[in-house]
Amino acid sequence: MHEGRHCMLTKQELQQLLNEGLATGADFSEIFLEDTKTEVIRITSGEVTQIDRGNTYGAGIRLILGVDEVYGYTNDVSFDSLLTVIKNLRASFTGNIKQAQPLGEAKPIKSVIKKPMGSVPVEEKTSILQKLSNIIKSYDSRIVQAISQLIETEQNVLIVNSEGIYQNDLRAHTRGILMAVAQENGNMQQAYEGPGRSMGFELFEEIDFEALAQEVAQSAITLLSAEDMVPQVMPVVLHNGFGGVIFHEACGHPLEATAVAKGLSPFVGKIGEKIGSDVVTAYDNGYVEGAWGSASFDDEGKPTQNNLLIENGILKGYLIDYRNGRKMNMDPTGSARRQSYKFSPTSRMNSTFIAPGKDKFEDIIKDTKYGLFAKKLGGGTVVPATGEFNFAVQEGYMIEDGKLTTPVRGAMLIGHGKDILFKIDRVADNLEFGQGMCGSVSGSIPVDVGQPTIRVSSMTVGGAGGKK
């Protein structure tokens, strides 16, 4: 970062700007500097349909007094420009003037990028993506569209604040997206995979995308013969990886201080209480090496950490940022995140997952007499204040007498996060992560959701099918 364009500002100048932020009575000032490069390449059925490059560059400034905050930003990071933003912001405060603490030294960052952005020619990337699109397209004549896409970002940040924080971080994110659309007799179905990691283009050595392209094509074809789901209440086995999105939405968001500090969460004041069954232990880990949602430091310059949320069903903690920590009288947990310099940070998840249990996947299926196996989940909605959710099952199978039988489509999982936690009765040992983009008040950020395969003893499943 220091080598980048931000070295136009010296440490002394940043120190001076932080003091200027406190000059009318704010008790905390912060400057967030960012330089982010992105590249997107998309292939649709063998043709290059998109090559986009972008750059996000600027500074966000935040002043706080007590729990009141003002925020401003600019894409001109000269000293004078930042001073103008600060002068406009500080007019909101009157009070005792403090001095900012002297800026410390940056701690080393953990991330190692083997193939950083720009190190692999576009032609090479394009030819890999074309090959993947062709694998999907040639799998079956009923596949009418095959999409492969690469999204790469490299974010350089420097965070300084009046408590002496001076911290840089480098976050690289690379994602490969595969999609297949199958059609037969007017029936159209699609399947999708989008694995991503905190790394450079070496992602394509880490993950077998060719096998994944086959899988995506196969899923889309399987769905053509699927039957409409019959609505009913039944046991549901949620598969590992992206199955964790329900926990993320219905339990993770209500554990963020963004909701808790305002009292808008079913988990307010519940620390130390039982909020789920004994088999549920859950974490939000800020740094899992190479994981999509990881960072060495959060967007307030604090080292990320592994936060225990639930242990054997007992609520142990929340995800807390600096300002909400003040409101709640609790310490921050290294969970402050933002999309870019245009957003003020707040508490957000990184890699949120239900911890592995002792069961085997095969045994959970075998011990389920009748139910639904939700192999892949699609999108969903949740009301954070109540934890009510509904999620679409992208690929599902009936379980009958402990065996997977008919593929079903159009199944919807409906419920309350807080009820679900008590109904989880089996947890397998096959923890995996799925990758997503999560939107909240501080913008859209990469997160991992994860879990082993779990069974929920009873759940409302919606669908368009006839009588059971």
The residue extents of the domains of the chain are 5-224, 227-462
* pLDDT band at residue 385 under the 50/70/90 scheme: confident
Residue 235 has pLDDT above 80, yes or no: yes
Q: Is the pTM of this model over 0.85?
A: yes
pLDDT digits (tens, 9 = 90+) for 242-256: 999 999 999 999 999
In eight-state DSSP terms, residue 103 is P
The residue among 463, 395, 392, 411 whose CA lies nearest residue 219 is 395
Give the mean model confidence (pLDDT) for residues 321-337: 98
CA dist., res. 442 & res. 347, Å (int): 9
The residue among 164, 31, 29 whose CA lies nearest residue 106 is 164
CA dist., res. 247 & res. 239, Å (int): 12
Contact 449, 244 (CB under 8 A): yes
Please spell the DSSP secondary structure of 2-38, one letter per residue.
TTTGGGGS-HHHHHHHHHHHTTTS-SEEEEEEEEEEE
β-strand partners of 166:
160
Give the mean model confidence (pLDDT) for residues 310-323: 98
Query: If DSSP codes are grouped into helix, strand and coil, which group holds residue 133?
Result: helix
* pLDDT confidence of residue 2: 39
CA dist., res. 223 & res. 243, Å (int): 18
CA 179 centroid distance within chain? 20
pLDDT digits (tens, 9 = 90+) for 241-290: 999 999 999 999 999 999 999 999 999 999 999 999 999 999 999 999 99
CATH T-level topology, domain 5-224: PmbA/TldD fold (3.30.2290)
Residue 334 has pLDDT above 90, yes or no: yes
pLDDT digits (tens, 9 = 90+) for 199-221: 999 999 999 999 999 999 999 99
Residue 340 has pLDDT above 80, yes or no: yes
pLDDT digits (tens, 9 = 90+) for 121-141: 999 999 999 999 999 999 999
pLDDT digits (tens, 9 = 90+) for 115-124: 999 999 999 9
With 0-12 CB in 10 A as exposed, 13-18 as middle and 19+ as buried, what is 309?
buried
The residue among 41, 45, 21 whose CA lies nearest residue 31 is 21
* pLDDT confidence of residue 401: 98
Query: From its phi and psi, is residue 387 left (phi > 0), alpha (psi between -120 and 50) or beta?
Result: left
* pLDDT confidence of residue 1: 41
pLDDT digits (tens, 9 = 90+) for 93-112: 999 999 999 999 999 998 78
**Structure token pair of residue 346:** 């707040």
Give the mean model confidence (pLDDT) for residues 168-191: 97
Give the mean model confidence (pLDDT) for residues 10-23: 97
> Which residues, including other chains, have CB under 8 Å from residue 7's CB and lie 6 or more apart?
none
